[in-house]
Amino acid sequence: MTKAELSGFIKEQVAPLIKDAVGKDVADMVRENVEAAFATLRSKGNKDSAHLKMFGGEEKTQEQLAPGTGFARCLRATAAAKMAGYGPDKAIDILRSWGDNELADKWQDSRTKALASNDPTAGGFLVPTQFSTDVIGLLRPAAVVRSLGPMTMPMPNGTVKVPKVTGGASASYIGENANVGKSQEQFGQITLTFKKLGVLVPISNDLIRYSSPSADQIVRDDVVRAMAQREDQAFLRDDGTSGTPKGLKYWINQASKYNANGTVNLANVTIDLGKAIQNLMAANIPMIVDQQLNNQGGGARPGWIFSPRTYRYLSTVQTTVGVYAFRDEMLRGTLWGWPFRVTTQVQETLGTGGVSSEIYFGAFAHAVIGEALGMMVDASQEAAYHDGSNVVAAFSQDQTVIRVIQEHDFALRYDKAFTLIEAVNWGN
């Protein structure tokens, strides 16, 4: 008996008998529950559906998903499809089997558009823009450069041109019946071009086979953490060769770079920090300390970036009478009134003897990140990856390696808006 035949039998034969005994409301409730139970049995009888269901977790509507979770479900569905012996397109069917019909529809639409437009990345699997945007949003607090408020803009066509300030306008007093002197700001132009960041994230196959409510969050957090670390390295210190963006170190004007005093004491450290602030003031950067105004766009959003060792020194250095010089303020998240970030991507093994570090200070309103609107994903059970010390084979570890590709670039609109303190041996 088919589902339609059973439904007709219940309506025509069973329901009238129940209505006579217990009433219409109870009869309708019984009919609805019988039909629902029959639909469940039919879905269990479908081998392919049952096979896909084994990878599922708690079904959620899109409105219930936390930011970035939709993206993580796309990744996990891709991995599940590969584990089941299917190609990546089967991931969309797996999403539907999990009850994620809205996400599946958007992903299918993105896939169709990429293929129809002969997109050069159409051979990959493009996650819908809205879910990739969630991941970018999570990167802002996780990545130190993004967290200090650089300008971000989309690059839907792979490149975007950004005006660059090279000189300021001038003004003059004029006498009676005299002409006003002509002046204007001088601008150059920067072209941002996609640089491809590939992130490999190994995931235990148990997280795919036996899903728990936290599985998507684990995948999401691992991806965001890996992307944030490599992105910070690029935006700070990559030199723009070998397909990488050019980082702050190579954008900053050479005249705005200087070495820290080799004699490390509180007096010299204070002078070195003051020079960094003076450099920005000399470049006519509005040094607004009020963070609310900075966040609202009223300022240049100045901020510091330094290494853990530098943080330890600054937060523990004392005056001659035993008073911590900067600690109380640093515990509130600022140094001389402006926010700071600490990252291991600022190296501590530079210079002669490999013991020096760097400090970046600048107006992040003049930094620009251009980025693609989507991310490419794929998965493999045979891939190998480097865990920091050894090459690991995913197959032998019962893992699936997720590959995420993001495309972006980085630049400064004004190269004197930042300063770099080099040869920093504080706390060494």
In 3D space, the residue among 246, 293, 272, 423 whose CA is nearest the CA of residue 361 turns out to be 272
Question: What is the per-residue pLDDT for 59?
Answer: 44
Distances (CA, A) of 48 to 41, 99, 209, 304, 420: 14, 15, 15, 55, 59
The burial of 218, by beta-carbon neighbours within 10 Å (0-12 exposed, 13-18 middle, 19 or more buried), is given as middle
Question: What is the per-residue pLDDT for 14?
Answer: 57
**Cβ proximity of 255 and 112 under 8 Å:** no
What's the first-to-final CA gap in the chain, in angstroms? Answer: 80
Tell me which DSSP letter residue 256 carries: G
Which residues have C-beta within 8 Å of that of residue 252, sequence separation ≥ 6? 362, 412, 415, 418, 419, 420
The burial of 101, by beta-carbon neighbours within 10 Å (0-12 exposed, 13-18 middle, 19 or more buried), is given as middle
pTM beyond 0.85, yes or no: no
> Given 3-state DSSP classes, what are the helix, strand and coil percentages for the chain, each rounded to the nearest 5?
45, 25, 35
Question: What is the per-residue pLDDT for 303?
Answer: 95
Question: What is the per-residue pLDDT for 292?
Answer: 57
Q: Is 194 left (phi over 0), alpha (psi -120 to 50) or beta?
A: beta
Question: What is the per-residue pLDDT for 269?
Answer: 98
Total Cβ atoms within 10 A of residue 47:
8
In 3D space, the residue among 103, 128, 135, 109 whose CA is nearest the CA of residue 201 turns out to be 135
The amino acid at 325: A
In 3D space, the residue among 22, 14, 399 whose CA is nearest the CA of residue 203 turns out to be 399
Element holding 408 (H helix, E strand): strand 399-412
In 3D space, the residue among 197, 151, 140 whose CA is nearest the CA of residue 341 turns out to be 140
Question: What is the per-residue pLDDT for 290?
Answer: 62
The C-alpha angle 271, 275, 278, rounded to 5 degrees, equals 135
Question: In the beta sheet, which residues pair with residue 198?
Answer: 405
CATH assignment, 132-167+185-428 = 3.30.2400.10
Question: What is the per-residue pLDDT for 309?
Answer: 98
Q: Where do we find the tokens 């129940």?
A: 18
Which residues have C-beta within 8 Å of that of residue 309, sequence separation ≥ 6? 348, 357, 426, 427, 428
Q: Where do we find the tokens 């900067």?
A: 326
**Cβ proximity of 279 and 419 under 8 Å:** yes
Which residues have C-beta within 8 Å of that of residue 29, sequence separation ≥ 6? none
Counts for the chain of helices (H) and strands (E), in that order = 16, 16
Domain boundaries, the chain: 3-42, 66-129, 132-167+185-428
In 3D space, the residue among 168, 141, 60, 147 whose CA is nearest the CA of residue 104 turns out to be 60
Question: In the beta sheet, which residues pair with residue 195?
Answer: 408
Distances (CA, A) of 136 to 9, 83, 428: 54, 28, 35
* The token pair that represents 64 in the structure block: 């219930």
The burial of 15, by beta-carbon neighbours within 10 Å (0-12 exposed, 13-18 middle, 19 or more buried), is given as middle
Question: What is the per-residue pLDDT for 141?
Answer: 87
* Tens-binned pLDDT, residue by residue, of the chain (428 aa): 555 565 565 566 655 655 555 555 555 655 565 555 545 544 444 444 444 444 444 444 444 668 888 888 888 888 888 888 887 678 888 888 888 888 888 888 877 766 654 554 444 577 777 778 888 888 888 999 999 999 998 887 888 888 886 654 456 677 777 766 555 555 678 889 999 999 888 888 888 876 565 788 888 898 899 999 999 999 999 999 999 999 999 999 999 999 999 999 999 999 999 999 999 999 988 887 665 555 554 578 999 999 999 999 999 999 999 999 999 999 999 999 999 999 999 999 999 889 999 999 999 999 999 998 778 888 888 888 877 788 888 888 888 888 889 999 999 999 999 999 999 999 98
Angle between helices 90-97 and 69-83 (to 10 degrees): 120
* The token pair that represents 409 in the structure block: 């670039």
* The token pair that represents 245 in the structure block: 């963006």
